[in-house]
Structure 1
Amino acid sequence: MVVTFIILHIYHFKLLSDIKPDMKSNLNKNGKVRNKDHRVEGWGQSSSEAIKMIISGIINKLQNVHMLDRSGTYGIAPDLYAPYYIKSTEDVSVVTHTTSEHMEDLILLSERWDGPMSVSVFTYDVDAYFTIAAIAYLCVCFEKVRINTQFHIAFPLSHSPRNSDVKDLDISCNMKLKDFLHNRTRNYEIKGLEYPHNMLRNLAIQHSKTSYIFMIDIDMVPSSSLHQEFVDFLHHHRHLPSSNDLANTVFVVPAFECSSEEFPFSKDVVISLWSYGVIRPFYIEMCKKCQKYTDYDRWRKLEEEEDLDIGYELEWRDPWEPFYIASRDVPLFDERFKQYGFNRISQACELHVAGYKFAVLNNAFLLHKGFKQPHKFHETKEEEQNRNRLLFRKFKEELKTKYPNSQQRCY
């Protein structure tokens, strides 16, 4: 009887998912874009011609950009592709980072987040030009990516982009990204290179065009309509006496892991699937205490409200690393943290010391694709974590000097 109920419930969940727009509406049964390589609406040319045009434009921009990050070890090229307009600066942008391996995740993310996105892509050597091809493909073949997404590129000077015949690739919207990407190396396993999460996050934040940012990982998807709901939330609270607190508050979005290939759109479905193990709190196997201070049980028990609002406020506690929406003016991430460990905790710690409040949103949530499991991580994870743990201790001592009048500490 219980098994039957679970099956019926998941079937109901699938029906709910099917009535919402997602990336499948653009794909055929084989996962390829339905559109044959005829003329692309609005472009006046075939998709392969449009992709080649964008590739050439981005390469020309890249060759004329001579900017470095603050350490002087990375070349950065902001806004290599950007929408022609932003509807309003009083808005919120998803800010995220990736390598070419995970750029495919932008397709689903762009369908679930109907608003601006600022994306930093880490690349190197010949891979840079295949990354550029991937940007062009996504912008031509997926309208939501094209109209909403800024792309920025960063590369180590020791592995600067090298010439490639990528302009001669025959790429069209009838292909998938993996059909033409040159290198599918995982972020942490690029031979001889460290993945600079925090530099990439800062690049995406600093070149976003909106007053608020939503800091997430690229392989996550938000609850349905969260973009518009948060914009409405901002407009409503602007007229309240407490409006001055908005800039000093980070709005926490509870994060979950989902084992299903279908992602729920509403909180009630998340709660139901959570009860049957299809969904669980984020990082529960990897680092339970890194997320437990979100207080998932309290979030689950909140009375149902029609509008997005603050469910409750929490005091930050080490080592909580929540995903959040906040003012674009929040303290930036410390770029010394690279590879695995402490890269997000350090920034959350600084937010606390700087006096920011942490407010959990009542109806919002994030879903990570698949369960995070310890045995699926790269071989050097422990070594990197131990190194960054020492850096974090130093970082916490430095905050005492940076915020001498603060009574808050990262304990």
Structure 2
Amino acid sequence: MSSFEAVQEFYVSNFVNIRSKKRNVFTCKFPRHWLIVLVLSTIIFLIIVNFVIPYNSVYKDLSSNTKLAYVSKEDEGQWNGQKKTHPLKETDKNPLHDKCETIHIGFVCSGYRSNLYLHTLLKSLFFYNINPIHFHIMVNKVSEKVLKTLFDTWNVPQSNTTFYDINDYIQDVRWVPNSHYSGIFGLLKLVFPKIIPLNVTKKIIVLDTDLTFVGDIIELWRLFEKFNNKQAVGIVENQSDYYLGKNTKIKPWPASGRGFNSGVLLYNLERLRRLDWPSLWPSVAKKVAIIYGSTRLGDQDIINAVLLQHTDLLYQVPCFWNTQLSDHALSYNCYNKFRVKVVHWNSPKKTHVLNKDGDYFRTLYQTFVEYNGNLLRRQLYYCDATQDAVNEPQTDLCAEFHRAKTSQWRTLLFFREYQHSAEENAKNDVTFVAQLSYDRLQMVEELVKYWQGPISLTFYVTDPEFQQCYNFIENSELLQDRTNIAYHAVFKDGEYHPINILRNVGLKNVATPFVFLADIDFLPMKGLYSVLKSHLNSIHDMKAKALIVPAFETQRYRSRVPKNKAQLLGMWEKKSIFPFRSDVWVAGHAPTNYTKWKSAIAPYKVKWEPDFEPYIVVSSDVTEYDNRFMGFGWNKVSHIMELEAQGYQWIVLPNAFIIHKPHAPSYDIAKFRTSPVYRMCLQNLKEEFIKDLDKKYGRLFDNKNTSFLLDIK
């Protein structure tokens, strides 16, 4: 026996004897290879531990199913020393114990950025939730329009929304001295206990819009069951030393300890109503304001002052339901121990906040920014016993065209600030209306160089493309300061480009009496905005009249846009510019009569002809485009035909023009060229549309097949 074997035998023998004496586990000597395995395993374990410890912060299984991925009810109840109010119920063991209980959620939403934040918040909320939700949203006029459109077109199952006009409740908080960056809107969460009818709900969760959910809100809703018979306000401790006066030279409003953060509030409405909440908080606020002056954190300062004087109202919600990420946040102490359920970007910097784990949380937020919100339309559980899952539709070769009659495309209006003053909005003002996809984004910068007036643009984008568009606009020197451009987003859904739906979104959201219905790949002549206003001013009655702006094109990508008609005629003579589609689609613009236009010095009338599709200026209350026409073919022709059925006059402007810039063919053009089924569906839709015009206006158009004899329109 070697010396190594002797030593090994000694240690193994002693190890066996000791373990046998203590627990009587080992009854035989340890084999040699087991010792080697044990040693190697110990070494590997120590290496892993040594590697992981330096990175052991937020990355410690925030989204995995480890023991930290679910916090027990005992831990929740005893957070920060709080005692449990009652034993664990059987239903508490099942996170989905009542899938059909309606959760009531309140927001205050009153601005363009707030609408944008709410869109992302809703995606994170819907992602984890399957319960019915009733939203109660305090809004101004703009946000009501934006959010009503969003909810109507998103069509998420089992969600309901009630809007409350902020103007009806401003007087309740206007008197409060306040210096919070959100202004008077930062006080309105105090009003929810007053405005929500008790016959609708006796409890509500009120949220800021700058939150990201990473857990199911039903778990937060169930905390109401933990309230004792006096507790009425559930709130998370503030995760900074602000109320201790350490991070500011200004003395903060009084609070208990670190105070509490009002980004997530649980209101027991019934108890607050009994306590006369509408009188309670003003009474406290008036007394404190005399001593401490203006609130600096809005409603949060007032709620803290109330809870300091009425401690029995407080239910302390666990920290992970409001993980705060301001510059001086101490939230690490929370998310290092518990799985985060809600991330709160409670800083004016929002996602640009300084935090050592900020990259992780920004990635989490970006996941929902780019998440396809259309996937959230799924319905996992049917609360209505009579409601059945939707049956698979029967095979329909033209299904994509037919779905435009009934389907909705998720739409986010005014995703950036829009302003067009009343002085500018004169009786002859006109908005440039166009739609575009992500690959035409760079053309927006070109357009604004030539058009100084208001613009309404509708983007057709995926969720990631939408974020890219937003960033492009925010960082563009030409676009970032232009506030008279209304930007709207329609999110991609389906195979074909819903071009007329996009046009209608832009058309319905203008603030001027007239619109110029154009396409994004056309650049207007310099000064066209002023020229059009001049013509509109000289025509006293624009009812059933359309002003035609002649369209030209160049095949040169770097060709300059002529400054005026004289310069255009010179370029036309040199064949560097020519009438739009004159070589492949004469019928589209031939009625404009370009020969006459060359020498015209005054507007002249022309007659409509089949397949005419000019670019026109009309009253903003013009008939909308027919949504059934999607993709390539007849989408604009059908609109012009309907205006003709209404008896419109067609007037060509002699000193106005637009220039088409060359670009790569679209997917829908390729589909039209290569797919007989596509062309068949379009032909059927054309015939259906003409019959509808006859029924509606008593005008029977000749059903010629001109549009479909050509390879390209």
TM-score normalised to the size of structure 2? 0.41
Using the alignment, how far apart are the partners of 2:686 and 2:571 within structure 1?
36
Which structure's CA Rg is the greater one?
2
SS in 2 for 1:228: helix
- Residue 123 of structure 1 deviates from its aligned partner by 1.1
Q: How does 1:3-402 map to 2 (within 5 A)?
A: 59-60=116-117, 62-63=119-120, 65-68=150-153, 71-86=406-421, 87-90=424-427, 91-138=429-476, 141-143=477-479, 146-156=482-492, 193-237=495-539, 243-244=540-541, 246-260=542-556, 261=558, 262-303=560-601, 309-310=602-603, 312-370=604-662, 378-382=669-673, 383=675, 384-402=678-696
What one-letter code is carried by the residue in structure 1 that aligns with 2:474? A
Judge conservation of contact 1:100–1:134 (CA < 8 Å) in 2. no
Question: Do the aligned partners of residues 219 and 61 (structure 1) sit closer, same or farther apart at CA in structure 2, a change above 3 Å counting?
Answer: farther
Judge conservation of contact 1:258–1:279 (CA < 8 Å) in 2. yes
SS in 1 for 2:415: strand
Question: Do the aligned partners of residues 377 and 71 (structure 1) sit closer, same or farther apart at CA in structure 2, a change above 3 Å counting?
Answer: closer
Using the alignment, how far apart are the partners of 2:118 and 2:538 within structure 1?
41
Using the alignment, how far apart are the partners of 2:538 and 2:426 within structure 1?
16
- Residue 287 of structure 1 deviates from its aligned partner by 1.2
What residue is the counterpart of 1:240 in the other structure? Answer: none
What residue is the counterpart of 2:177 in the other structure? Answer: none
Using the alignment, how far apart are the partners of 1:291 and 1:266 within structure 2?
21
- Residue 77 of structure 1 deviates from its aligned partner by 1.4
Using the alignment, how far apart are the partners of 2:636 and 2:535 within structure 1?
26
Higher RCO (Cα < 8 Å, 6 or more apart): 1
SS in 2 for 1:379: helix
- Residue 258 of structure 1 deviates from its aligned partner by 1.7
Question: Do the aligned partners of residues 288 and 146 (structure 1) sit closer, same or farther apart at CA in structure 2, a change above 3 Å counting?
Answer: same
What CA deviation, in whole Å up to 9, does each residue of 1:5-52 have, x standing for no partner? xxxxxxxxxxxxxxxxxxxxxxxxxxxxxxxxxxxxxxxxxxxxxxxx
Using the alignment, how far apart are the partners of 2:654 and 2:151 within structure 1?
44
Question: Do the aligned partners of residues 385 and 407 (structure 1) sit closer, same or farther apart at CA in structure 2, a change above 3 Å counting?
Answer: closer
Tell me the percent identity: 23
Question: Do the aligned partners of residues 362 and 386 (structure 1) sit closer, same or farther apart at CA in structure 2, a change above 3 Å counting?
Answer: farther
- Residue 147 of structure 1 deviates from its aligned partner by 2.8
What one-letter code is carried by the residue in structure 1 that aligns with 2:119? L
Judge conservation of contact 1:341–1:389 (CA < 8 Å) in 2. no
CA RMSD of aligned residues (A): 2.7
- Residue 401 of structure 1 deviates from its aligned partner by 0.9
Question: Do the aligned partners of residues 371 and 295 (structure 1) sit closer, same or farther apart at CA in structure 2, a change above 3 Å counting?
Answer: farther
Using the alignment, how far apart are the partners of 1:292 and 1:115 within structure 2?
29
Judge conservation of contact 1:55–1:136 (CA < 8 Å) in 2. no
Using the alignment, how far apart are the partners of 2:668 and 2:691 within structure 1?
30
- Residue 407 of structure 1 deviates from its aligned partner by 7.8
Gaps of at least 5 residues in structure 2 are 1-110, 121-146, 155-404, 705-713
What CA deviation, in whole Å up to 9, does each residue of 1:357-379 have, x standing for no partner? 1000011001001389x899853
Question: Do the aligned partners of residues 263 and 377 (structure 1) sit closer, same or farther apart at CA in structure 2, a change above 3 Å counting?
Answer: farther
Question: Do the aligned partners of residues 81 and 89 (structure 1) sit closer, same or farther apart at CA in structure 2, a change above 3 Å counting?
Answer: farther
What one-letter code is carried by the residue in structure 2 that aligns with 1:327? S
- Residue 58 of structure 1 deviates from its aligned partner by 6.2
- Residue 103 of structure 1 deviates from its aligned partner by 1.4
What CA deviation, in whole Å up to 9, does each residue of 1:338-366 have, x standing for no partner? 11100000000000001111000011001
Using the alignment, how far apart are the partners of 2:410 and 2:642 within structure 1?
27
Judge conservation of contact 1:211–1:328 (CA < 8 Å) in 2. yes
- Residue 61 of structure 1 deviates from its aligned partner by 5.0
TM-score normalised to the size of structure 1? 0.69
SS in 1 for 2:670: coil
Judge conservation of contact 1:96–1:120 (CA < 8 Å) in 2. yes
What CA deviation, in whole Å up to 9, does each residue of 1:100-129 have, x standing for no partner? 211111111111111000000011243232
Using the alignment, how far apart are the partners of 1:121 and 1:100 within structure 2?
7
Judge conservation of contact 1:106–1:145 (CA < 8 Å) in 2. no
Using the alignment, how far apart are the partners of 1:151 and 1:332 within structure 2?
19
Report the count of equivalent residues: 308
What one-letter code is carried by the residue in structure 1 that aligns with 2:418? P
Using the alignment, how far apart are the partners of 2:671 and 2:458 within structure 1?
24
Using the alignment, how far apart are the partners of 2:491 and 2:118 within structure 1?
15
Gaps of at least 5 residues in structure 1 are 1-53, 160-191, 238-242, 304-308
Using the alignment, how far apart are the partners of 2:414 and 2:446 within structure 1?
21
What one-letter code is carried by the residue in structure 1 that aligns with 2:411? I
What one-letter code is carried by the residue in structure 2 that aligns with 1:398? D
